[in-house]
Every structure is written in C-alpha cells, then in structure tokens.
Amino acid sequence: MRPGARSARKALYCGPPWPRVFELTARDGLARQGVLETRHGRVTTPALLPVVNPNHPIVSPKDLAVRFGAEILITNAYILGKGALREPVLRQGVHGLLDFPRAIMTDSGAFQSHVYGDVEVTNPEVIGFQRAIGSDLGTMLDPFSEPEHPLARAQADVDETIARAKEAVALRGEMDLVGAVQGGLHEPLRERCAREVSSLDIAVAAIGGVVPLMESYRFRDLVRVILASKKGLDPSKPVHLFGAGHPLVFPLAALLGCDLFDSAAYAKYARDGRMLFADGTRHASEVRESGCACPVCAAHPMAEIAKDEVLLAEHNLHVSFAAVREVRRAIGAGEIWELAERRARAHPALLDAMRELRRHNDFLEESEPLSRPGAMYYVGPETAHRPVLHRYRRRLEERYATPAARGLLVLPEGPRPYGERYRGIVERALSAADVHPVVKSVWGPVPIELDAVWPLSQSIIPDTLDPEALEAAEVFFRQWAAGAGYGFGVLWEGDATLEELRARAPGPRSVEWNLLRVRATADFQFGRGAAEALLRGPISFVVSKNTGKVRNVLADGQHILSLRAEDGLFTLKAAGAVRLHAAFPSPRLRVVAHPDAIPFLREGKNLFAKFVKEADPGIRPGDEVLVVSPEDELGAVARAAMNRREMLAFKRGVAAFVREGVPPPPSAPPR
Amino acid sequence: MRPGARSARKALYCGPPWPRVFELTARDGLARQGVLETRHGRVTTPALLPVVNPNHPIVSPKDLAVRFGAEILITNAYILGKGALREPVLRQGVHGLLDFPRAIMTDSGAFQSHVYGDVEVTNPEVIGFQRAIGSDLGTMLDPFSEPEHPLARAQADVDETIARAKEAVALRGEMDLVGAVQGGLHEPLRERCAREVSSLDIAVAAIGGVVPLMESYRFRDLVRVILASKKGLDPSKPVHLFGAGHPLVFPLAALLGCDLFDSAAYAKYARDGRMLFADGTRHASEVRESGCACPVCAAHPMAEIAKDEVLLAEHNLHVSFAAVREVRRAIGAGEIWELAERRARAHPALLDAMRELRRHNDFLEESEPLSRPGAMYYVGPETAHRPVLHRYRRRLEERYATPAARGLLVLPEGPRPYGERYRGIVERALSAADVHPVVKSVWGPVPIELDAVWPLSQSIIPDTLDPEALEAAEVFFRQWAAGAGYGFGVLWEGDATLEELRARAPGPRSVEWNLLRVRATADFQFGRGAAEALLRGPISFVVSKNTGKVRNVLADGQHILSLRAEDGLFTLKAAGAVRLHAAFPSPRLRVVAHPDAIPFLREGKNLFAKFVKEADPGIRPGDEVLVVSPEDELGAVARAAMNRREMLAFKRGVAAFVREGVPPPPSAPPR
C-alpha cells in the first residue's frame, strides 16, 4: 500500500453523507475506480445501471439488487410520466413503485423523443416530474445530435443543450442532475459542450448521441467523441456513457474515463434470443454449449436457456455485471490497458479504436500513473504506444542527460534486466571504450543505467516481434539518438562490437554502476539538473544485503533519496526535497497549498484537493512533489495522487500523500 | 445443418455400447468435438478430467459429477496402490471407493516416479492393479522424458515406452489402455513413438513429458511437441495432454487436436490461494474484486473467497469447466482459430506459439474444413496465416486458371464484396481494357471472379492494417502474380487506373459475370480443368429472384452444380459428378468404397469410414467427392467429412455424407 493510502481510504467517507460526492479510490490511465454517494447509498464505479422498463421488468428491481448486486438502476421518466404509471409513481415515488431501495437514475426520454419524435413534454416539465417522483439523478431533456449532423446543426444542438442544462440547474431543487454532452462527431463542439455543462451545478456528465456509433461498431469515432468530451469535462464529476450496454465496450469506455454505463441490452437481446458475452453476441439457438461460467450457464443446459427469455436475461446480466467487475479489478490492478488491448482483439473495429488512441497520447499521458506493480505484458504493437511509454520516451528526451561518449553501443532487445544480461559488454563499453550502451528496445531506447526503471525493468515480450513493433523500436531509437546528438557514424551494433571492445579493453575495470544509475534516474524522474542538485557533497549508498542494490542515497550524510525496488524510481526525502526546491524555480515540482494547510502538512497530514491552489502542470499521479505555500515556502514532500487539472477540480479526496513534513527553515543557518 | 448430418448424428450411437468407441461430432482444424464411450458412460470431448487425490478430495467426486458436470475424472493408481487405501480400493473398486458412477481414468504414477524417484512398482504390476480396481482407462507406466534430454536418452525412453506399451496391451484384459507418447523435444522421435504406440490396441494416446514446458510458458515448444506427435498418431484415437490443467492453454491445445485435459491445478492453485482465469492466474489476496461470472464469484465477496480453499477450488473448477465448454462451443461454431488467436493475446509466449503454427501449415491444412458458416474476423497478422487461407492461396496457385489478359488491375483491400464495391471499374477492366482485376487482399490475391468464395466473401478486417499484414498481402500477391505469369510491367494500381480505363472504355458493356464466376469457382474448387469438363454444351443458370445470384448451373439441360449462398462454393450434382469422373483420372476426387457398400450408397446412404478402402490424398473435410468402387465405377456424389488419413483410420463414423447416388451406367447409351 502506498504511504498515506490507508488514511486516505478512511478519509473518504468522513464527510457529510450528503450532498453527493464522487471520490476516487483507484485510477489507471483515464479510468477511475470511485464511489458516488447518493441519497440511496453509495455506488461503486465503474458501475452498470441496468435499464428497468417499469411496464415490463423482465428481472425485478429487487432481484437486480439482491441477486446481481446492482447498486443503481436507470428507468425512464418518459414512460413513467405518460401512461398508467403516472399516478402511482407520483404517489409512491420511483423507489416505492419499483421496490428498489438503492440509487435510481431517471432518463428524460430524449432518446425516445429522438427516435419516435412523440415527446410533447418540455425540459422544465421533465425536471419537475423527476423531482416529484424522487429520482436520485434526474436527466435534463437534451436534443439528440446524430453523428452525421453537420457542424451548424450540431452547433445549434450544443447551444440548446447548454441552455437547457442551465435551465435544469435552476429547477433541480434537491435532485442531482445529469447534464448531457452533445456535439456529434465535431470534437471542438464536444469539448465546448462538456466544458460548459460540467462547469454547472450538475452531479453527473452524460455523453450522449453515441448509440448509433456503438450499434454500427464505429468504435474509432466513439474514441474521438469520448476523448473530446473528456478534454472539456470537469474531472471531478462521474461520466455516464449513454446507451453503452454491451460488455464488449466496457474496457475501452472505462479506459477513456467513463464511469457509468446503462444497459437495456440484457433485456433487449434476451427478447431476441441473443446472449451477451464479453467478446460479442451470439444467437442462443446457434450456441450448442455455452462457454460461460455464470450461474445460469453452469446450472442449465443450453436447450433450456435458449427458449427462456428470463434465463437469457439473467445470463446477460451476470455477464454484464462480471464485465464491469472485471473492469474495476483491472483498474485496481493497474491493468486496464492490458484488458482493453486484449478485448480489442475480439473485433477489428476495436483494433481500429485502439490504434486511434496513440493520436491522443499527450492528453492521455496527463492522467497516467507513474508506475504500477507487476510486469507489463506485450499484447500487440499497440502496447508500445501506451501513454506510459509515450511518457517514458518523452522524459528520456527532455530530462535524461546523455553522457559524454564517443558513440553509442546499440544492444539488441532481450530478456530483462538488460544490465545483467549484457554485464560484461556493458562494463567494457563504459569503462574502456568510452562508448555508451543503449538497448534498442521495443518500448524505446533504454540507456543501460535506466534498465531498472519500470516498465523497462519488468516487461514480458514475445521472442519474435511483429514488424510493426520492430519498426517502431527503430523509429523511437533514431528519433532519440538524433535528438541526443549522436551521429550515426558512431553507432556500434551487434556482436562484432564485443570483439572490438575486448580488443580495446584489457579487462573489466570497476565502473561506478551505482552512481551512474542514481544520477540517470534522478534526472529522468525529476528533470534534467536534478542529479546535479541532489548529489552535491560526499555521496554514500545504503545497499541491500540481499540484492546488492542501492536502497538509500545519502549526500553530506543526509538521507536524500530512497530507491524503490518495485519500480526503480526514487522516494524523495525531506533533505532531498530541500535541495530540489532550492535548485528548481517555481512552479517546477510544486503543489501550492492553502496557507492554512501548511502546519498540518508539516505534521505529515495528507494534502486534500480542496486545499490546492496551484500545481505544476508537469505533475503526474505518482510523481514526487514539493508541497509549498503560496510564498513558495516548502512545507512537505509528497507523492501526487492527481495531476494539476484534477487537483484544481476535485473538492474531495487526497491530492497528494504527504511523505514527510519539512519544518520551516531556521532563521539562521545551523553551525 | 449439412446434408446427412442428422442421419449421421443418429448413427453415432447405434452400434454396440461396448467396446469403447471414439466418434467425432464436429471438427475445426485439428480440433475435434467427439464422444468417447466407456463402460461408465459417454464422455463429451474435449473434456476436462479433474484430478482427484483420493486422500484429500477438496471437492468430492460426487460434487464433481453433480455440480460441475464432470463426465470423467482421473486419479492416481500410485497413491491408491501404496497406502491405506489399497485394501479398500481392491475391495470396492475405484468407482465404489470414490463414489463416482461415471468414467474414471487412472494414472500410473510415471510422473511421481519421475519427480520423487520412489516408485518401486513395475509396468505389469501397475496394469494389473488398475485392472483389479476396475479403472475404465488405465495408464501404462512410461519413462518420463525431460524436454532437455539429449537425443540418445530420449531415443532410449521412446524404445522403452514402445516396449512397455506392447507389454501393457498384452496384459490389459478388458481394461482400456492409455498409451504414452514420449520423445522430449525431438520431433522425429515424438512422431515415431506416436505412430508405434497408437497403432497398438490402446484406447487413448497421451502426450507426456510436457508439464515442464507448460510450467515455464514454453508454448512454442509445446506446439512442436504436440504437432510432431499428431503427425504420427492414429487420428481415430482421442489424445490426452498430460498435466494440461490451466484454461489458458485449452484453446491452443484443442486447436492442435488434443481431446482430453487433466487438471490438478484447480486444487493445487486453491491451496496456494491462487485463482485460475481464462487469461491467467491471480493471487486471490491481490484481487479486490473478481471479474468472473461464476457462481462462486457471483455469490461471495472476494474477502470471503480469498480465505476459503474450497471456494477457491470451486471457482477454479467453474472457470476450467467453462473454458472447456467454450472450446467445445468454438469447435462447433468453427471458431477455434479465433478463440486461440484471441486467447494468445493474454501472454506473449502464446503469441510466439501462434507464430510457430504457420510453419506447420501443410499438415494443419489437411484437417481444415472447407468452409464454415459466418464471417472470418481478423484478430492479428497471424489470421492471414491460418491454414484455411494457406489453402486458399495454394488452390489459387494450383487450380485457378488465370484468364488471358494484357495485365493486372490491382484493386486495394476494402469492404466486401469487392465485386460490388468496384463494380464500375471492374466491368470496364474486363470488357474494354482487357485487364484482369485482382484485389490485393490481406488474405491473398482475390481475382474478382472469386470474391464470393468464403472466406474472401465474408471477412471483417480493421480499416487500418498493421505493417505485418500489409507486408504479407504484398508477398502473397507478388508470389501469385509471378507464378501466374504476370509481368510487373503491366500492373496497374490505384485511382489513376480508373481514369485511364474510362478513357479507353466508352461505357460499360455487358460482361458475362455469371459465367466468369462459375468457371473460376469450378476450377478453384475441383481443380484446373474442372470448368472445361463441367461446362460442356449449352449452359444455363437458375438465378435467385431475391439476390440475382446464380443458384443452379445446367449444362446440356442437366443440373450439374448448385451454388451455395453460405460459402460461394458448389454442391456437386450427380450429372456433374459423372462429368468430373470422366474428365479426371483416379484417384482425383475419389473415395474408394468397399464393393459391398456401393448399392447402399447408390440409395443415398452415407459412406461410413469402415467401408473406405482408399481416397484421394487431396480431399479435405467438406470437399465434394466422387464415391467409387475399387473398379472406379461411380456410385455416388458425396461431401467428405474426413480427409484420407482419417477415412482410413476411423472404424466408426461417417467418412462422407452422400448427396446423391449415381446409378450404374446403362449398358447402351440412351437414345
């Protein structure tokens, strides 16, 4: 567990139970695991909201809660408001009518309005009705923008959406609002709509108008729409993806930061005799045997399932809820990218969607945690384009200082750790031949001193790589080598080099491996110049007895850094923080806290997001940060839990886990 | 349902219930769905045999049958024979002792002997003991060959294995035998051992010595070992993969023709607090939430599961049995390749294994059915190397006759059907510009007349292809174009061509599309020259009113061919069969039946494998075949259900589904 995580977990629920709050419990890329508080209990996200048709509930709401663990459902205010149910629901409330004690979201009927064109109600009427029936989350009546709508039409829709969102906010009373994001395929429109709607007093932002994309497997367009919306959305608000009910899309949608899905698919597909699976849909009549472990499939022969709509619906629910749990598990384990990449192999259109992601790496990278436990598995050539590797290559270019050497020794990709594997040749290269060994890895170039940094240190790749991955390795390498000022004339490659180096070097001489590693890692992690700033004075290391690896770094006798075995990166100590603070000007590495918070931070209390006033835009979740006062006085060293955008947006939750408070500087230097 | 399939299904169980019989019910590549008869009931294969430790049955054998649907289990004769259980099991029999009424396989203790080196029993003792306790399938005591054993040692092991197998056969009495295949990583040894052992009177062939490969994720070596064994094995016998208990390997192993798996993993992993999943293993303590739909995970919180060995074992069993059912479903649906390719993305070592497969395409292709219902989905660049596409490209080279044309018009890959998409340009090319349009598809070159043939007609690929796939498309194309005698100087490519063609062709002229398609398809399907032989005399078509597509082909007023909408290939009619029979010399397209069978075949009865005397080695499951007498007198036209090797090996089951009997030729020609 990360430092401070326990206290953060506790802090999560210590506020008032109401008004509603969304708080993160884990994160992975744009994906979040969180808890949404409602008047009818907490909802763990990502969550699936089964759609309940109040006229024909194929599985009763009570069963949804008890047997399937649904913490929230969604039903249609349009259906409730126009038929025979109108009077009963107004009398009993929606929770009473449905006999569901947990959270209920209501939909406004915008989709029905769009499809049937027969909704005569107005936005204020819909809001009023949802309030009257006690909906926990009521939805505004938004115009439905078709993907094919031209710019002008989509623009008008967005203007109308924003106007109606404002109207809904004015009328919401105690009810929490779901605000819609429209804009068709027009990315700037989506971003604007998202920004304006989510800046209002809404509880949930819902990305709408995407059902036609999902129905026709236009997942690449879905990616563009979601990401454009996410760029504008307030990150502290949960995001609902309207109409996303097929488990095939859950990993991708969660990866892109969607928190809530609603599913009518379980019922609709059951009615057509179709079964949902995590990898697609199959007609029950064509499935001789179900390769599914769910209680329905484990207990009933297919012949029975195929002709029983309720069993089909229950199977679909089991599969869908399990798929959402799998997404939550993957987020908790830092494996959402792996899950999404693997699932993408289920349909070529998902592969196209994954390929689209790399175009958005600058945005995706902002939310990517620094590292995660465990190895990184190669799924396909797309793996090398994950934002965390995009960041690796960028930080390598921007932060890592290439050593002065006559040239590069290019080592081939191979099992990790590279340093161990190539020990002899590396020592000769470094000590005698004045040549810098760098591995041409499929993840990007790896200077040998950085081979213990995650994920370079821990990754599992096939023996035989596909041409796309090899080509990417080549491109990554050449870009970096050119940027680092290595002329190609001095590239050395292959086995011949070993012989040449042997000839030049009489035998292995001692290389200051530890110092090389520490210097390179410090610059890579904190920025170019960090090694210089941190490693002033006499340097010593505390080395692990078991592994022989550096554990602590001391400078001038002060403990400034600890090296983490898990990810090969540093934990910053107070003495190190002081040095970086002095060397790097504001805002670098800084999180600026409210002055009132400083004394508590100095005592080691965590920094909550609501006390953050500013932050370095370069900070990423997991980065070591300097917590300072508005006057840039150092108060603590901490590990960021959020990036700047999130720190400024969230009103709840920990922005940075404080490792150590830093006392105010003494008025006079010690003697 | 395919013609004759219903009667075959019925015929399956009409023989005596004993001796044991293995019969296929579906097939896909080397994968088979089948039924193995034992004295204790039928076992549907592929089957999982949970390993029951009679001293510590974590889940009772009765529960395995009732709650998990196990039709067979495996237990260890070595454990039963040496401890306190010896007397009870000799008294009650193994079914009585375990209280399991279904099939029981016993293991000899060869693995224990190998690991602990403490087995003092001999092969005859082990066989005798297994007979005495009433095992349904008793295993010989084979020497365990380590993968690293050098050739000489492995050779000795193989010789010893064969000798012991012969000894066991002599001693088996009424008990059915499991014969072992050893040989380490030495492929010719594996093949020889498989051939010799499976030619003996054994019921099941077990590939042994593979646990070390699976434990260290050496799946590529596993592929080599299994395929070398399969090349030697009698295809009519079920194949057990000893020690394969992780669902991760089931799709791959089934794809390679393994029918039985045994799993101690469910119990061993539970003891260590580990959970099996179709995509790998996870420590229960690290799983916050299980993304699994099984009855255990659907009903219990993870905290409870994690500390309960029985719940963990039950979860592992649910997942493992579901994984085997999924394999059976995939075989039934013709999707085992898709399943294996998708599952391979779960671990880089599986990707290496999939990449190995293409090296064995000539062997794999022999068992590949001609077509299957539904579309082919692109999973990765490996998809283009599936044996069915290898066959497509080979038949294209060997059978399809390139039309006389001045050159090729190379059309880019795109949505299917190509002919519709490129209609205008294709018509101009064919009619005016004397240029042959061919699509440079990722599956291989597609002459436009063949674009309705499966899987070219029905395949779903990403919009953006990876470089490996594009490179393969290029290589496939150039190889074919060179072989077909097209000089590269006359290649036309891209949009410019359309303009050029327009300039040359004043307007679309009528092209005999239907005839072009029919001719090309006939040659492609039956061999070069088939169109010439079939399409003699005046030709007419019966065309579908709905689709406008050819349904029936008539020559000289006789119905000779029907075109199937599902796969764009022909069903051969009796009149067509007569023409092909006259044109193609024996053994081409022939299956030679026992003379006694001919009258029944003429009445339309199916051809059972036991009546097959010879067959064209070029026949593949699904091919149209000519069933002839040993004197090459045509008796029927049929659809092959097996290839030659299988027809000659199987003693049960249908070798070919007869479509139409062909009466003996009249002594004088009709007038």
Q: How large is the ipTM?
A: 0.91
Looking at mean pLDDT, say which of A20-24, A183-187, B287-291 comes out highest.
A183-187
pLDDT at A17 over 50: no
* Two tokens, residue B476: 């496939």
Q: Does the distance separating the beta carbons of A378 and B351 come in below 8 Å?
A: yes
Least-confidence region, from A149-163, A499-513, A637-651, B91-105: A499-513
AA identity, residue A53: N
Q: Is the pLDDT of residue B440 over 60?
A: yes
- Check if A174 contacts B (Cβ < 8 Å): no
DSSP E strands, A69-219: 72-76, 103-107, 137-139, 176-181, 204-207
The answer to whether B594 faces chain A, any CB pair under 8 Å, is no
Cα dihedral A294, A297, A298, A304 sign: positive
How far from A171 is each of A144, A166, A168, A194, B10, CA to CA, in Å?
A: 21, 9, 5, 20, 69
Residue B539 host element (H or E): strand B539-543
B499 or B34: whose pLDDT is higher? Answer: B34
Whole-number percent of chain A with pLDDT over 90:
74
A468 touches chain B (CB under 8 A): yes
The answer, yes or no, to whether residue B389 has pLDDT greater than 90, is yes
The fraction of chain A above a pLDDT of 70, given in percent, is 90
Nearest-by-Cβ selection for B328 from A220, A289, A327:
A289
Is there a contact between A293 and B467 if contact means CB atoms under 8 Å apart?
no
Q: Which is higher by pLDDT, B404 or A16? A: B404
Q: Say yes or no: A1 contacts chain B, CB-CB below 8 A.
A: no
**B297 touching A, CB under 8 A?**
yes
A6 confidence band (pLDDT: 50, 70, 90): very low
- DSSP H or E run through A320: helix A309-333
How high is the pLDDT of residue A5?
38
Determine the residue of chain B that is closest to A314 in CA distance.
B293
Burial A329-349 (b: 16+ CB within 10 A, else e): bbbbbbbbbbbbbbbbbbbbb
For residue B170, how many other CB atoms are within 10 A of its CB? 12
Mean pLDDT across B173-197? 96
Please check whether residue A320 is in contact with residue A247, taking contact to mean a CB–CB distance below 8 angstroms.
yes
Q: What does the mean pLDDT of chain A come to?
A: 89
Contacts of A321 in chain B (CB under 8 A): 293, 298
pLDDT tens-digit profile of B151-182? Answer: 999 999 999 999 999 999 999 999 999 999 99
- pLDDT value, residue A14: 32
Distances, alpha carbon A83 to alpha carbons A86, B344, B612, in Å: 6, 52, 70
Chain A 623-642, CB below 8 Å of chain B: which residues? Answer: none
**Which residue in chain B has the smallest CA separation from A349?**
B462
- Within a 10 A sphere around the Cβ of B631, how many other Cβ atoms? 9
The pLDDT of residue B508: 43
First to last CA, chain B: 39
Q: Which two tokens stand for residue B278?
A: 């179709």
pLDDT per position as a tens digit, B274-294? 999 999 999 999 998 999 999
- CA trace torsion B68, B73, B74, B80 (10° rounding): 100
- List the single residue in B68, B299, B342 with the smallest CB-CB distance to A345: B342
**Residue A407 confidence (pLDDT):** 72
Give CA B607 to chain center in angstroms: 21
pLDDT category at A168 given cuts 50, 70, 90 is very high
**Is it the case that residue B19 has pLDDT exceeding 90?**
no
Cα A181-A184-A186 angle, rounded to 5 deg: 100
For A108-152, list the strands marked E by DSSP.
137-139
Q: CB distance from B474 to chain A under 8 Å? A: no
Q: What is the DSSP letter of B458?
A: S
Cis, bond preceding A455 (omega within 30 deg of 0): yes
Would the CB atoms of A293 and B341 count as touching at under 8 Å?
A: no
**Which residues in chain A have Cβ-Cβ distances shorter than 8 Å to B331?**
none
For the cut 80, the answer to whether the pLDDT of residue B652 exceeds it is yes
Q: Please state, in angstroms and rounded to a whole number, the distance separating the CA atoms of residues A155 and A150.
A: 8
pLDDT above 90 for A488? no
- CA distance linking residue B211 with residue B234, whole number of Å: 23
Q: Note which residues in 375-414 of chain A have CB less than 8 A from chain B.
A: 377-381
Pairing of strands B435-441, B444-447: antiparallel
What integer pLDDT is reported at residue B111 of this predicted model? 66
Chain A partners of B326 at a C-beta cutoff of 8 Å? 291-292
Q: Which residue of chain A has the CA closest to B463?
A: A352
Mean pLDDT value across residues B610-633: 97
Unique residue bearing structure tokens 């674009």: B451
> With an 8 Å Cβ cutoff, is A545 touching chain B?
no
- Please tell me the distance in Å from A71's CA to the nearest CA on chain B: 14
- Determine the pLDDT at residue A10: 35
Cα dihedral B412/B415/B421/B425 (nearest 10): 0
Exposed, middle or buried: residue B29 (CB in 10 Å: 0-12, 13-18, 19+)?
A: buried
**Considering only A61-70, A644-653, B108-117, which range has the smallest mean pLDDT?**
B108-117
Token pair of B54 as six digits? 């009679």
C-alpha A651 chain-centroid distance: 19
Residue B164 near chain A (CB below 8 Å): no
pLDDT band at B10 (very low <50, low <70, confident <90, very high): very low
* Structure confidence at residue B513 as a pLDDT band (50, 70, 90): confident
Mean pLDDT lowest among A652-661, B385-394, B482-491: B482-491
Shortest distance between the Cα of A291 and any Cα of chain B, in A, equals: 3
pLDDT at B409 over 90: no
Residue B497 is predicted with a pLDDT of 54
**Mean pLDDT, chain B, whole residue set:** 89
Which of A304, A325, A471 is the best substitution to test chain B (most B C-beta atoms within 10 A)?
A325
**Contacts with B395 (C-beta within 8 Å, 6 or more apart), sequence order:** B524, B525
Task: Quickly state the pLDDT bin for A127 (edges 50, 70, 90).
Answer: very high
Give one DSSP letter per residue of A196-236, joined into a string: HHHTSS-SEEEE-S-HHHHHTT-HHHHHHHHHHHHHHS-TT
Nearest-CA residue of chain B relative to A471? Answer: B467
CB pairs under 8 A between A and B: 150
Catalytic residue chosen out of the listed positions B28, B107, B616, B623: B107
- Largest CA-CA distance found in chain A, in angstroms, rounded: 94
A72 Cβ contact list (under 8 Å, min separation 6): A38, A43, A47, A49, A102, A103, A104, A105, A136, A260
Contact A471 B467 (CB under 8 A): yes
Residue A86, H or E segment? helix A86-98
pTM of the model: 0.93
The string of DSSP codes covering A602-660 is: HTT--EEGGGEEEE-TT--TT-EEEEE-TT--EEEEEEESS-HHHHHH-SSSEEEEEEE
